[in-house]
Amino acid sequence: MNFLAHIYLSFDDPEITLGNFIADSIRANKYTHLPERVQQGIMLHREIDTFTDTHDIPKISSKRLHKNYSHYSRVIVDIFYDHYLAKNWSTYCDTPLDIYVENFYDLLEDNYTILPVGVQRMMPYMISDNWIYNYSKMEGIGKVLNGMNRRTNNKSKMNFAILDLEEHYDKFEDEFTAFFEELMVFSKQKFISL
């Protein structure tokens, strides 16, 4: 899952949210200097990733893309799934997406000093271009895929995956919806046990 899903699956706990968001920027156990609840958010993120990587439904979505994008197909599916979460946001959350995202950006700014350097560098671009809110739009997903392709020096060709999304839009959405129901239950159980 990508940014929005990890934020959402932190169940409105600010420190868990921070940890869940920054986890991809933290290697191994290089997080013991952080507050305990942020550390727990990092662990929750890793549990969510393991559940996602081993679940049959995301594998089906990924297989549809594998011929064109090889090992990048899983990253693309994460981005697609965040699109469906954003697009169908009112199904999952009572707070409107724009307000929810603004609150998250405020949380990042309020905790800037504990963020990893890579996140600190990325944050101004994320906020000024409103990446997370724009996941709800095809244009926003297109920009994310273009950016990811540039980060691979145009090797991944992920920028073309927007065409796959358009072609198989309903299939990907059905897969997301079925998978996310299970992921929410799993994540809530892990959250409670932290």
The predicted-structure confidence for 60-118, as pLDDT tens digits, reads as follows 999 999 999 999 999 999 999 999 999 999 999 999 999 999 999 999 999 999 999 99
- Token pair of 56 as six digits: 């049959």
Rounded Cα distance between 194 and 192, Å, is: 6
Question: What pTM does this model have?
Answer: 0.96
Distance CA 98, CA 109 (A): 17
pLDDT tens sequence across 51-72: 999 999 999 999 999 999 999 9
29 pLDDT higher than 90: no
Q: Which two tokens stand for residue 141?
A: 């997903």
Burial bucket for residue 42 (CB in 10 Å: 0-12, 13-18, 19+):
buried
Residue type at 10? Answer: S
Residue 187 has a pLDDT of 98
